[in-house]
A and B are shown apart, each in its own frame.
Chain A
């Protein structure tokens, strides 16, 4: 069970959070091509190591968070609000 230090709620069990993976930027809908769009929909780097992922404190404050997590050890070294600075 991960322990995630939510900037609003403090340390909470990982089961309160929903994982959303490493976000990829949404192509410009006006000019996108099928190939570019489907890369956006489906392709993944799927790295083994430190990644910046998006999580949601779904069973808590429902904030969207960016979490730096090591995908091989599940170690977490930083949690911050999406689009915001650390509180």
Chain B
């Protein structure tokens, strides 16, 4: 654990106060029976407050691993990473982020409101504040009226929205999402992408978003990180020139297609290695 002085040191050393996540030469090597697997190799990246960053790449490129390192669910084996100027562990302990997994992972024995309330119960909020926050985020994800339903009574898309509400219920300013819409059909996915952008605009959170869909990455992001496998590394970082206001129709504009093209090129370049 860092002492307060050390935290101050780290903050002071931080070049820009607006950098929320800074990775420098980050590596993670898993030891398996077949030898070493380089899940991440020499990954350097900085993410600023309010960014919507997508991580895209084929499976095994380390995009999920990077998110998990950020969330202190994996420990890096090399390099440095800070979240809000402190280590991921410190950030996790100060509840700096909400994490949305690929599967909604709602507790079947809790109602939707009960699931959204879960982090609040753990963090010891008062009863009245819990009720207030739950109703606020339920409205934010457009699930008002479903509080007393059980997860199996909701569609997959609604369940995923509930899991986003759960991640928003407490005051984490970073939202980490690991292929949250990967298991949903395209129509539901479009709808949720639109809602997610609106939500991002309203809350001003920093979002890390893992996907393997090029249109999804380009549509949502202010910054697209293209990754490639074996070893997992960054091949391109694209700052999106698209405006913040993005109707679904923007996906047919030349600017959109140009960025999508560059992402595709980056992905292809990564594959040329093997």
- Chains A and B come from one and the same complex: no
B interface, CB within 8 angstroms of A? none
